[in-house]
Structure 1
Amino acid sequence: MRNTNSRRGFTLVELLVVIAIIGVLVGLLLPAVQAAREAARRMSCSNNFKQLGLGIHNYHSAYKQLPTHGTGSHDDPIATQSQHWRSTNFSNHERLSMLVPILPFVEQQALWEQISNPNAERSDGDLMAAIGTPTVPWNAMGPTPDQIQYKPWVNEIPTFRCPSDPGIGLPALGRTNYGACLGDSMWLAQQGRKDVLRNEPTSATAQEGRAACRGFFITANRSKFRDTLDGLSNTIAMGEMITALQDGDKRGNGVATNGGNSGPFGHAALRNNPNLCTDSGYIDPLRPQFYLPNFQQQNRRNFARGHRWADCLPIMSAVMTILPPNREACGRFNALGTTLVATVSSRHQGGAHILMGDGAVKFITDSIEAGNSNAGMVWHNGTGVSAPGSMSPYGLWGSLGTRASSEVIEEEL
């Protein structure tokens, strides 16, 4: 007779087959799940840009001008206005990015109130710093954006961050993945038209700024929509960028160093050849997304792409349409972060987002037509393709970055 109480279980072979089938299914589904998550993050990134576009347009409606990139206060008894690179507690040396004035227009009114009024709070919570002093530690509009004890500068603002970017915490302060477009030349990008703003329109610096600074945003320049003669829908207002992770990624960490201002990697050398980092062999041939270790910036790790949303320095919160998207951040390190060719970049596959002047968000691929990367930039004493008023030498990509060069955009982005 058969024992009716006996139970038949799985054999070892059957169990292994089931496990193998589950493993195959997981292997097939995991990439699809990851792709779906990245698609959601990319859409969220695009929505952030749309919010910034609305913020810019609402700001313009309220004040009849664009938010100034390179604005703020100057009240330092030690430094002159030209020494905007100095770190100080007295004022911000007019070094605030355009992301600061649009705070009330991107639902950050509370943070704006902290910045626009005197503020006694410190990041370390040390209230003793105010005892015995006649005034509070921080003046209205805050200190220079590199001051870690000023709480507003270390705020992580979700609207300024792309969900695909994993960067977080020190050595950065408050990070940003969105930067103002300064045009198709890095020449004098950090200075812009400050001399014009200070009623010195005939100075050499002012002349240089008028010739080279051709972007939607110009440092220290009070612009309006009407100044974008090429049309808002044909001009890039802002671009996406990665934040540095101290891993040697050429787009964020790898600001190569070599020589002084007049050396083989100085201002003029990079101005005359934006492709200098590639031509000089600074990029690792085995890992083309990274600089060779000898050319990775080892000092001042807090001075890298996207590390301070409140800082207008090009390395912190600006992009340029010189090299194609996701190319290297090429430049000689200095305290100003000025000798730098910094294009758009992202953690998305194959390209990066840009915000057009009319508020439209586009995804630009790495293969966009970008002219001759070895051509010199437009500047005051340039000749040929580098002469003032010339069409951008960087093709469609460069023409999208200029606001009044009379370049016709025939392609649908």
Structure 2
Amino acid sequence: MNKSSRPGFTLVELLVVIAIIGVLVGLLLPAVQAAREAARRMSCSNNFKQLGLSLHNYHSAYDKLPQHMTGNTRTWTNDSTVCNRLYLSALVGLTPFMEQQSLWEQISNPGDRNKDGSISFPGDNPPMGPGPWQTYYEPWMTDIPTLRCPSDPGRGAPALGRSNYSVCVGDVIELVHSGGKNESNIYDNSTAIDTDEAGIRNGGGSDNNTRATDARSRNRGMFWARHTTAFRDVLDGLSNTIAMGEIATILGGREIISEFVLNGPDAITTNPAACDSQVDPARPQFWLSTASVGGGNQIRGGRWADGRLQYTAFQTIKPPNSLSCYRGGDASQGISSASSRHQGGAHVLMGDGAVKFITSSIESGNQQATPAHSGRESSFGLWGSLGTRAGKETIDSDF
């Protein structure tokens, strides 16, 4: 009697099938990951469009843009638990226009001035909140979904509430950190224009005409710290002028796109290349181990309500995904660059509300040049020109 044989797979056949499946998975995974990043990038762009609508709605309501570096002055007191000393970002004023009315009401709830001149604050918080670095104040610790790019995985401590979106303050280094004014809203020339903090922290005094002239010639962006600007000031046209740009937040790996150097070289106020030597030549996307990067909550995009350069502002000097470097501490002058977790560049929001993706290879002029001012053409090519509101540069619409 013949024995019947049962059909089956040989070991070689099984191994071949497994190998084929492995190859297919290997081919499909990058495509899946690319599709997910494309979706995240689109979501990021949509967030920026929402911010653009918020800016235009704010301007329709008040005939001006939200002031960057605003709040209450140092006139009352130097105590940052009572007074925010004009350090609030423009994002604070936008909160009621991006569906954060309840948060705005918490922040703007005014205090009552007593007969003796002292102030009583409901819930022990001052009107417009305390200094935007105070961690006890819940609004400053809040992560606002509209301010976060889904491609950026940075979350939680040591940051306060994070933001991936920042305002454009032009293409110059000197005096854009303060707009030329001190904490009492005074044009203060008590320190030289090219020093570390250049008067940003001082209080009192009287307006100095020379400092006012210097500040006006150097603050060329759509936003001017501690000053109000409006669409009428944008003589280059809203479609040719950057209003806001992306910034990547810290992951802790000493990346140049998400961590900045403090106490950098003095020459940074006039030479954008002064800090380049602190980048690791073997790993050009990272800082050298000897570079003094920010720590604690003094981190890139780590305080959504803080208007200082390091947290919610950038300049069109170095192209997207370049380094950020400052002469002193987190109130000092320096360079703040746009950056993102997207491959090859970063989103910007134009003044007309359009969102564009700017590549890291955009033409950016002479990166060792002293930034031009006083009505001169930008030193930093097309990228610098896009950051100025009234430079009268000729810009190709296909940038």
Amino acid across the alignment from 1:370: S
**Cα offset, 1:332, TM superposition:** 2.7
| 8 Å contact kept, 1:176–1:317 | yes
SS of the counterpart of 1:363?
Answer: strand
Pairing 1:52–2:51 present: yes
- Counterpart in the other structure of 1:129: none
| 8 Å contact kept, 1:230–1:405 | yes
CA offsets, 1:211-236, max 9 Å, x none?
11110000011111000011111100
Identify which of 371, 377, 385 aligns with 1:399. 385
Amino acid across the alignment from 2:46: N
CA distance in 2, matches of 1:189, 1:307: 20
CA offsets, 1:179-224, max 9 Å, x none?
0000001211121153796586643332221111110000011111
CA distance in 2, matches of 1:27, 1:147: 48
Amino acid across the alignment from 1:206: A
- Counterpart in the other structure of 2:240: 234
SS of the counterpart of 1:376?
Answer: coil
Q: Percent identity?
A: 54
Change (3 A) 1:2 1:108: farther
| 8 Å contact kept, 1:354–1:362 | yes
Amino acid across the alignment from 2:101: Q
- Counterpart in the other structure of 1:213: 219
Pairing 1:286–2:285 present: no
- Counterpart in the other structure of 1:408: 394
**Cα offset, 1:22, TM superposition:** 1.0
| 8 Å contact kept, 1:256–1:282 | no
Pairing 1:102–2:98 present: no
**Cα offset, 1:106, TM superposition:** 0.8
Pairing 1:42–2:41 present: yes
| 8 Å contact kept, 2:77–2:83 | no
CA distance in 2, matches of 1:100, 1:59: 12
The number of residues matched between the two structures is: 372
- Counterpart in the other structure of 2:30: 31
Change (3 A) 1:361 1:284: same
CA offsets, 1:78-131, max 9 Å, x none?
42xxxxxxx721021111101111111111111111111169xxxxxxxxxxxx
CA distance in 2, matches of 1:19, 1:7: 22
Identify which of 366, 374, 391 aligns with 1:372. 366
Stretches of structure 1 that go unaligned for 5 or more consecutive residues are 80-86, 120-132, 259-264, 378-385
CA distance in 2, matches of 1:295, 1:11: 60
CA offsets, 1:46-93, max 9 Å, x none?
1111000000000000011101101112367542xxxxxxx7210211
Amino acid across the alignment from 2:334: L
Stretches of structure 2 that go unaligned for 5 or more consecutive residues are 112-119, 188-205
**Cα offset, 1:387, TM superposition:** 4.9
Amino acid across the alignment from 1:234: N
Question: Aligned runs of 1:168-247 on 2, under 5 Å?
Answer: 168-194=155-181, 202-247=208-253
CA distance in 2, matches of 1:152, 1:134: 16
CA distance in 2, matches of 1:193, 1:185: 13
CA distance in 1, matches of 2:274, 2:365: 16
CA distance in 1, matches of 2:136, 2:110: 14
Question: Aligned runs of 1:9-408 on 2, under 5 Å?
Answer: 9-74=8-73, 77-79=76-78, 88-117=80-109, 136-194=123-181, 202-258=208-264, 265-266=265-266, 269-278=267-276, 281-297=277-293, 300-336=295-331, 338-377=332-371, 386-408=372-394
| 8 Å contact kept, 2:40–2:151 | yes
Change (3 A) 1:15 1:348: same
Change (3 A) 1:243 1:10: same
Change (3 A) 1:300 1:198: same
Q: Which moved more, 1:66-75 or 1:234-243?
A: 66-75
Structure 1 outlier segments of 4+, above 6 Å: none
CA offsets, 1:314-366, max 9 Å, x none?
00000100011111112234141x32211111111111100000001000111
**Cα offset, 1:8, TM superposition:** 3.8
**Cα offset, 1:300, TM superposition:** 2.9
Q: TM-score, normalised by structure 1?
A: 0.85
**Cα offset, 1:296, TM superposition:** 4.0
Amino acid across the alignment from 1:275: A
